[in-house]
Chain A
């Protein structure tokens, strides 16, 4: 008995030492890894393609989904506020809160308008320029909406023509606007508003040429007016930050973007580390949703660095 113990030990030791053979087995099962400069280049280009296509997909498809979902939530919130008579009437409303519902029957458009026109705000829907009266209140109100991305709610605005009617529901009631005209760059400005009227200017971007739907690069204005104006509360702010002007970008998003990129990097390193221990399938089952969510968030932040009307 006592003599067999070392024997067993000796037998056990080689068995343990042979364990490193397992990675070799998995390596054998995997396709032989590509080698050399072409492989590195190929991976690089694949990454570029992945990033570009992901972003494009989010702008055109996934963003639309997000926009629909946000609109649903905002509509529910604003409906409750209207019923409870707690909807905001200005002059200062927290950024991102719903302030109006815009319905354009001609375009089949119904959108909840949010406060603020920075590129981060217009992701949710058309934004209201904060230093103007709310739509329908005496004065001139400005709404800015995206033309192509994140649902592109204002993409068909150019199809409106003078005389078209649309309605806006705000806390004080429903206002019917009549379109005065569609203005492209260089068209004359409309005549000054007469006192007692409310004017609404819808702003979006338009492109030119064959790919006009994908290249919205110039601001487009639709002016509408109503004779029946609601009372406007005094005390509007005189200026808004530069990031809320027409075609403006919001460089304040850069720190946040840095954070998200760092998180993505951390995820990558985590995946690499996890691949050492667990099988690829397991790792990707866990990491894929995280990667998707992070990429989605990162792209949303990137959007803030881009013009607010596209």
Chain B
């Protein structure tokens, strides 16, 4: 069994999914718009991401196969190619938003010009991924990303009505004033659900398991890591919703900038809390940027059969290394044109839901195939039932995402 330090793979994966720049603003805004009424979506999505990360990690540990190998094998070349293009577009958009988010945060600390800081963020990310091994990337960004726990402390000190918070975990449709508000609520349900189940989390997690050299003996560790990481990410998302509901909702505000979300922490924990929150957001955004850039490279290399992995020297996995470098550079170039990072990631979240069924179907089929996984590691009835339930749920979400995006004018209502 591997070192328990591998828990940071789960933490980093979850940070990149639950508290990246778009999800952060989305969670705070969902609290500001609907109070605690969307917490059940976070909980539902968390069960889904635990189920699929566990399956993808188990397949990686038992068969040594990452997700895009499975997609190519089970979905075929044409459908696999569509998924690859869409997945890597989502990765690029998300990476773009994270670099923009880092630049915004650094500006709050330094006051320097945004574009120069975006360039500095690009250099920082390139150096970090080039110099650090995969294990040190996990530990460094996973550990310091825990500074995001200041939001948990802030949520506690804001003294919410815990009964109301608990009621938010029961699925319900609130009484709203107009049909446009119902549409907006539905848009938030789909967007939060898909943002918790972002496909790159599974690509990164399964590839990370192979980077870390997992074997069939690590199946139990995989289960623990996927649960701990996702529950932690989910708790942080809940804390952000509480901050939105307690600080911004009573004032009728919808903050659009990550720095504004940190106000909820400064109100309860003062200046030190503010700096810790900004630090936590920086490590979470940087972790998400690395997760998406590496996922893009993993996907392409696995689909085309190139040598891949941070565990290989760059010269023996040259095309893989070049792909993550190009992803970072393209993302930085896009953000330097001045586009709003939060808008970019909101679109990427909605489009990512469209490829979710394609990502999760092959994982579910392989993890449930007795001939491939063997009696010992095949899905049990519970994992199968949960997997199929979420496959239906993500397919429904995929069908609704784009019409809702249009009907709500990009979530504006």
A binds B: no
Residues of A in contact with B (beta carbons under 8 Å apart): none
